[in-house]
Structure 1
Amino acid sequence: MLTNLIPVIIGGILAIAGGVFAQIYQHRKSTQTIKHALLAEIAATLKIIEAREYILRIERRIGAGKPFDESFFFTIGMREKYFLVYENNADKLGYLKPELAHDIATFYALIFSVIEDVKEPPPGQSPRNRSVPEWEQTLKLAKEAIAIGEIIAGARVSSPALMGARTSSSATK
């Protein structure tokens, strides 16, 4: 009788272990998918910043050095939900290594702050007239976000167009 029970017990253990291993595998696969999608979105964001010369445009804005009038407003038109991968997976950052999750959250917080500073106002509203110190703060946040993004994405893209005309090394300060 006991010999008939042993195969049943072994079969049950193997079935449970198989289910557990399948869940572990699926969790790891999901974590890697989220990680790679976030890294791709961050790398794409850095490429967009470079291609559209946002840093250079902000530096030119600061270089004007005088109170700004409406002829020199700098805004970026963007859709409401620009970072879909992050927004759809922010609740899963805890699956990643703590340092990476921290850096990703910091990158997006800085980018969202810069976007708030430069996005187009709602229809019917004039762009806010910002002072030179406000633009300098926006530039500093943008460069910090870029430096963190480069570390996250593993890309060293500190080209003059991305980091601005001043210096690439200022982003690491």
Structure 2
Amino acid sequence: MQVTKITSFIINKKGIFFMLISSLCFASMSAMAKDLSEKFSSVQLVFFRSAVGLPFLFTSLWLKPAVQKGGKLYFIILRGILGAFTLYCLFYTLEHLSLSLTNTYGQAFPLFIAIFSFFIFPTEKLSRQQILYLLIGFCGIILIFRPETNGSLLHHSTGIIYAIGTA
């Protein structure tokens, strides 16, 4: 009886289910990267993380070959380079700061999305209430951005760059 309810929930709420699985996988990846950062450098961790994804990418391309329609190849390559750099920032921050602090920086990305959308899309307007919430969010980042107590300015700045790259 209980298994049927769980199966029914998974079928009816696939989006929620896959979001939870995704969060679990990314949290596990961060925890493993933090543990492995004692033995491997950030560059090596980026390589291993990318190497794990390659079989999935090649299998996907083999089953359904990509067709380039529109868009510019330059932007796709730039997106890949920026994604790799953001992944490096994540692993570098995990190597030098605590797991909780790194994840806190990573979870700040909605603040940067709101700021970027305001500048990139001129029709996007922020209400006074949204501006207030953004200011409160950035005050929270400033409170945890204390390089003198735990880590250097470079380590914390890399965490902020990771959040911006995630946005």
Q: Fold conserved (TM > 0.5)?
A: no
What is the TM-score normalised by the length of structure 2?
0.34
What is the TM-score normalised by the length of structure 1?
0.33
The structure that has the greater radius of gyration is 1
- Larger relative contact order (CA 8 Å, sep ≥ 6): 1
